[in-house]
Chain A
Amino acid sequence: MNDQHGTPTRRRFLQAATAAGIIGVAGCNTPGDGGNETDTETNGNGGSEGSGPEQIGSGQSPFGSRELSGVPMSEMPDLEGELTLYSGRGEALVGELVGFIEDLYPNFTVRPQYNSAAELVNQIDIEGDNSPADVFYSVNAGALGALADMDRTQSLPQEVLDFVPQNFRAPDGSWIGTSGRARSVPYNTDTFSASDIPDSIMAFPETAAFEGELGWAPTYSSFQAFITAMRILEGEDATREWLSGMQELGVSQYGDEFQIARAVADGEISAGLTNHYYIQRVLARRGESAPLSTAFTQNDAGAVFNVAGACVLDTAEDSTLAANFVRHLLSAEAQDYFARTTFEYPLVPEIEPIGRLPTIDELNPPEDLDLSQLSDLETTIDLLRETGVL
């Protein structure tokens, strides 16, 4: 996929990239967004409505129109029994998928408990041996790593782990990534062009054009994971300096990263630091005309690729059932669903992302960074506090 502006780098991703022609534009299951823009989005290929479970196994996506490769649910072991799922991923985002899997098998019931990932980790920890939870489904690797550190997980079977490349799962097999999210730089195209955004995250504090124009969300877990990556890659001193530099630049603080993506599109600020899918969500709602685009930095903390994923808990009543449920999250249908509904990156290599996104191979995340290293948030928090960011 080539950059519209003809720059040799693949890091910036612009309108032309229509996901290899699979889907015209993002957003048949578009998370809503505020604002008064008209919803110009339509389902790219039309006809996603009404497609149902009968298409399972046909190689056709049950959630939209495209041919799928990968392992369909029909080739996976049947699920039977009752499963308690603690989900840190919202019901609005994954509820439909969970319901879909449940409806596939007559003797299978899911008892879901939806809450934020951090609270569920606390809850599982406090419940101890009495926890009713079988599977924990998380928005980030940090929460999974925290449970693994508490020795509350069971190793997943190798044939489940084999679904995704090695860097998207725990080395000891205690959890597996089910979908991916890249750190990114949303920018307002009225203010900046792609070439104005530095290639290196470390250059941000010295970029005069960013003065008073940037936004970040330091209380958000993905931001903290990003700073953790910077600590590991650049060292503590450089990170401290970077944080101070950003503050001197007059960076604005926001409560969450969706708010930042919206604020950039509104022109309230001109650029920010967010996960990639927040930009897609805003674009999907506001359409082509929204002055919002995505840039990626290269091979540094600013381009960390993190995962949402799942683990089987030590309290699982039926570990085989639990592991097979996780396996279903890696099916062709589920992977397609993530790309479609949440604009995340499918982690099973056969499935392409959807939206104005570069493919996973075109991203340049930092090399030599192990996702399980990102669960050490404590040192990061200390650093953020020391510099007065938190």
Chain B
Amino acid sequence: MATEHRTTADDEGGEESGLPLGVSVAAAAVAAAVLLPVLWLVKTGLDVGFDEAVALLTRPTTLEVFLNSTILVALTTAACVLIGVPLAYLTVRTDLPFRRFWTIVVSLPLVIPSYVGAFAFVSAFGPQGGFQRLLAPIGIERIPEIYGLEGSVLILTLYTYPYVYITARAALKSMDTTLIDAARTLEHDRWETFKRVTIPQIRPAVAAGALLSGLYVLADFGTPSIMRYDVFTRVIFVEFGTFGRDTATLLSLQLVAVTLFILWLESRVRGEERTTAGGRSRTAVSLGLWRYPAMGFAALVAGLALVVPIAILVSWLGTASATVNQSLAFEWGYALNSVTVAAAAAAVAVVAGLPVAYLSARHDGLLPTAFERISYVGYAVPGVVLGLALVFFGSQYATPIYQTLYLLVFAYVIRFLPQSVGSLRASFLSVDPALPEAARTLGQTSAGAFRYVTLPLVAPGLFGGAALVFLTTMKELPATLLLRPSGFTTLVTHIWTAYESGYFGQAAIPALVLLFVSGLSMLVILRQEGYDVK
């Protein structure tokens, strides 16, 4: 049954005094590591004169682009929820045909760098793009404008809804469906049941996913720039381009402040967090004839997000391959490099995320909440700013690991930690604390109870988090460029090299390999999950 356990925990533990020591120390260490780059941000940002800072922040253009950013974040986040949650429901709770296939396919847009998607969409659907030329003979002179707010929302939604999809999916997987059966016996119809039983249970997970989407959009520069929509990050970009690093850093700190505000907002949306006895799921909802439109929906989303950019890139490949120089020759080693660092980042991020997520799900109070919220800070800072912060720490205090894979993986973990924390935390919330307690009374140590009872129950969240970190590391660019060892090429740096020099066709092969390799890895991750969950 759904019961409110947080109050119980408080009654027993009396706020923070009851925090488990080992877990708390581990969580504190993780939080400290995340805060390390922020120290540099604060130090550098403070070098800006106060007057200059105020003048810059209160200029009409700054306020205007700030408003633009806000609108973009709000609309995109809403659209992500509207696409991600139904897809998650369809692939977890219904008898949708080929569910595993759809699960992988609708997760994959996450690995496509959104600027590549934006570029492809502009080429396909721009005012004089390929699509328009296709329609011109049948008399269609103009197609709806792709540039601007609408286009930006479309593109960013297509490439960030998987955050919501993956976290919502994990929550639905570990949800106790007996509640739904109970509701159904009480003669609620399906919609009513979804509203009153399912939504409250998956709300923390959906909020976590929406948060990841929203913060991604907030810190993105490339996509709005191609879509010709002015956002706040442009101000930062211009400052960097003119070597005004102090100012750029100060502005990034403002992004952190906005992030803190969004985090606060999200903690309101999370609302009452319930815990349930998880893991029992039996009946799948039968879609009947609805399975066709359902598959159509999944195919449409994946088709737009995956097929359009790949088709555009491949169409250019044919015209570009003959004359290209040897620097752009593709090597399979790039794929191996990508998978290696992404897997390492995913593993470390999950391990580092465990104590933070566990503490914040199980204990109220200032410290657990602070540790969890702090884990988002690295994610809120634009990648290039985080990269430069680590350039500072690496070159000044950690020379032996500077421009090695160790520092690179560290950077990924700091950037993407909230993805594992968010996913894990939502799963911990869905585990009834009575279960590990029962194991304790049966003679297990607390570590044993965690290993044999809690961990299997949170496995969907664990693998969901690992999948998120893995997929986003596969496409991470700015920190990779700053911190990679000399000559270390990944699939995405290779795509960037081709793209940035205008050899667009040459981006097709690494992009296809990126999708293929990520798809395979997803299959492996999902299979692991299958073993651990009944």
- A residues adjacent to B (C-beta < 8 A): 27-39, 41, 43, 84, 90-93, 95-96, 99, 111-116, 118-119, 121-123, 125-128, 130-132, 143, 146, 219, 221, 224, 252-255, 258-259, 263, 266-268, 281, 285, 341, 377-378, 381, 385, 388, 390
Does the CB pair B238–A90 fall under 8 Å? no
Q: Given the known inter-chain contacts A115-B481, A127-B395, A255-B225, please indicate yes or no for A34 contacting B242, CB distance below 8 A.
A: no
**B316 CB–A CB distance under 8 Å:** yes
Which secondary structure dominates chain B's binding surface?
Answer: helix
Query: Measured between alpha carbons, how far is A38 from B391 in the docked complex, in Å?
Result: 45
Does the CB pair A221–B241 fall under 8 Å? yes
**B502 CB–A CB distance under 8 Å:** yes
Chain B 242-267, CB-CB to A under 8 Å as 1, else 0, gives: 11110000000000000000000000
Query: Which listed segment binds A: B168-176, B319-327, B418-426?
Result: B319-327
Task: A112-B487, A385-B59, A390-B61 given; name 9 further pairs at CB < 8 Å.
Answer: A31-B501, A31-B503, A32-B506, A34-B312, A38-B319, A125-B243, A268-B128, A381-B242, A388-B61
Q: Given the known inter-chain contacts A99-B326, A224-B242, please indicate yes or no for A131 contacting B502, CB distance below 8 A.
A: no
Contacts of B482 in A (CB 8 A): 115, 119, 123
Query: Measured between alpha carbons, how far is A92 from B494 in the docked complex, in Å?
Result: 9
Does the CB pair B323–A28 fall under 8 Å? yes
Contacts of A378 in B (CB 8 A): 242, 244
Does the CB pair B403–A90 fall under 8 Å? no
Does the CB pair B327–A92 fall under 8 Å? yes
Query: Measured between alpha carbons, how far is A377 from B391 in the docked complex, in Å?
Result: 25
Query: Measured between alpha carbons, how far is A268 from B129 in the docked complex, in Å?
Result: 9
- B residues adjacent to A (C-beta < 8 A): 59-61, 123, 126-130, 133, 225-226, 228, 230, 234-235, 237-245, 312, 315-316, 319-320, 322-328, 384, 388, 391-392, 395-396, 399, 402-403, 478, 481-482, 484, 486-487, 493, 497-498, 500-506
Does the CB pair A92–B328 fall under 8 Å? yes
Query: Measured between alpha carbons, how far is A224 from B238 in the docked complex, in Å?
Result: 10
Does the CB pair B241–A118 fall under 8 Å? yes
Does the CB pair A146–B228 fall under 8 Å? no
Can you give 30 contacting A-B residue pairs, CB < 8 Å? A30-B323, A31-B501, A31-B503, A32-B324, A32-B498, A34-B123, A34-B504, A37-B319, A39-B319, A39-B320, A92-B503, A95-B497, A96-B325, A99-B327, A111-B486, A111-B487, A113-B486, A118-B241, A119-B384, A122-B243, A123-B388, A125-B245, A126-B392, A130-B399, A131-B395, A221-B241, A263-B128, A266-B126, A385-B61, A390-B234
Does the CB pair B501–A93 fall under 8 Å? yes
Does the CB pair B320–A119 fall under 8 Å? no
Contacts of A263 in B (CB 8 A): 128
Query: Measured between alpha carbons, how far is A103 from B326 in the docked complex, in Å?
Result: 14
Contacts of A254 in B (CB 8 A): 228
Contacts of A116 in B (CB 8 A): 481
Query: Measured between alpha carbons, how far is A39 from B323 in the docked complex, in Å?
Result: 10
Considering only CB atoms, which chain A residue lies closest to B234 in the complex? A219
